[in-house]
A and B are shown apart, each in its own frame.
Chain A
Amino acid sequence: MLRKCFFAILLILAVAGIVYGGFFRKLLVYDNLEKFDKLKDAGITIKIPGYDQTQNQLTVQSQWFTEPEAVNAMTFDGIGLYKDGRLISKFPDLRMLKGRRPCPT
């Protein structure tokens, strides 16, 4: 009887975790402007499609990721933690985290 109670409670928690994590949870991820600064120091000017800004006018962009998208990004070490505790992309473009893998090289 005790085992069945534990089974039921853990089953409810497991399913709740899967449903909430899989369908409702959102994580805010910021892009990585430090990478752009390094490119500027190297004399490279870039325009990022979709941002509609030139390099010296960039402001920090962020997007909400669902947990499955974050899980996918984590599999290629795509998300890190910034000094102030923000989730930050390890790649210059946030779109590289969403359903697309960067070149493994």
Chain B
Amino acid sequence: MEKLRLRVQVGLAALFNLGLVQWHFICFPVFNCHSCPISVFSCPLGVIGQFAGVGLVPLSVVGAVALAGLIGGRILCGWACPFGLFQDLLYKVPYVKFQIPSWTRFIKYGVFLGLVVAVPFFLSTSFPIYFCRLCPVATIESAIPWAIINGTTEVISLSIRLIVLFAVVILVMGHKRFFCKVLCPLGACLSVFNRFAAIFPERNSDCIDCGTCNKVCPMETEPDKNSFGVYDDRAEECITCLECHKKCPTKAIELWG
């Protein structure tokens, strides 16, 4: 399953950055910068931020994110996101590993509401803490390539971007999928739909509560605890990587929700 997921991730990362066409009027709800010289689709966060800057809501983009979330929750995080692939590969680098407190997962909701929506709406997209000006994906896929292609006079801006990228890389090397858990605003949007998604791993009656699924989960989900406490034991952080399905001793994890 892990090899299949890796192949799908690599294939989709290549597809999103094919460079042969530019369909930026279509937004595919994964974390892939549309300022990348070879990007095919537009990034939902960049579009939402730009529209917030002019006081509008991009209904088609919000609808696309919602539809993706309703179909599979955060499955795109686990199977399609190029930055998720980047993080999975980075974590394999031998480095000091560390744990993070569970409350840090709420930071990403603040990142979305603050840096993606509020900053462009109340200030402007030119403001230094607008999310796209700090985004590590934009630094890798856009800022660095364009600085190489065209050169740049915005040394301070590029330096800040590189510092943020460096910090994220260090943190991702030390904690699995750190960015997804703590900072990703798109993950924050999609996580809301995990509770309603059509495709979602769930435990059936064969479960013997051995806890293997929780131990192998890269997102450290805790399906026994209702963190948002309303409906059932679905975990907001689950990216449907299916490690639990692979490792479950009684095959009690079913995919279709």
Chain A residues packing against B (C-beta within 8 Å) = 2-3, 6-7, 10-11, 13-22, 25, 27, 67-72, 74-77, 79-81, 85, 87, 99, 101, 104-105
Instruction: Indicate if B64 sits at the interface (CB-CB under 8 A).
Output: yes
Q: Are A20 and B22 closer than 8 Å at their CB atoms?
A: no
CA distance A15 to B70 in the complex (A): 11
A81 x B53 contact (CB < 8 A): yes
Partner of A71, one of B22, B24, B55, B149: B24
Which residues does chain B contribute within 8 Å of A13, judged by CB atoms?
Answer: 63, 66
Beyond known contacts A67-B59, A71-B60, A74-B47: 9 more, CB 8 A cutoff:
A10-B70, A11-B70, A15-B67, A18-B60, A27-B56, A74-B42, A75-B42, A85-B55, A101-B22
Complex Cα distance, B62 from A15, in Å, reads 10
Q: How many B residues face the partner with a CB closer than 8 A? A: 38
With the chains together, A4 CA to B61 CA distance in Å?
23
With beta carbons under 8 angstroms apart, the residue of A10, A15, A71 that contacts B196 is A10
Contacts A7-B70, A101-B22; A68 near B60 (Cβ below 8 A)? yes
In the assembled complex, B146 has its CB within 8 A of some CB on chain A: yes
- Prevailing SS type, chain A contact patch: helix
Flag if A3 contacts B231 (CB, 8 Å).
Answer: yes
**Closest chain A residue to B34 by CB distance?**
A75
Taken together as a complex, chains A and B put the C-alpha atoms of A81 and B124 apart, in Å, by 10
Candidates A16, A22, A77, A104; contact of B50 at CB < 8 Å: A77
Contact residues in A for B47 (Cβ distance below 8 Å): 71, 74-75
Whether the Cβ atoms of A22 and B60 lie closer than 8 Å is yes
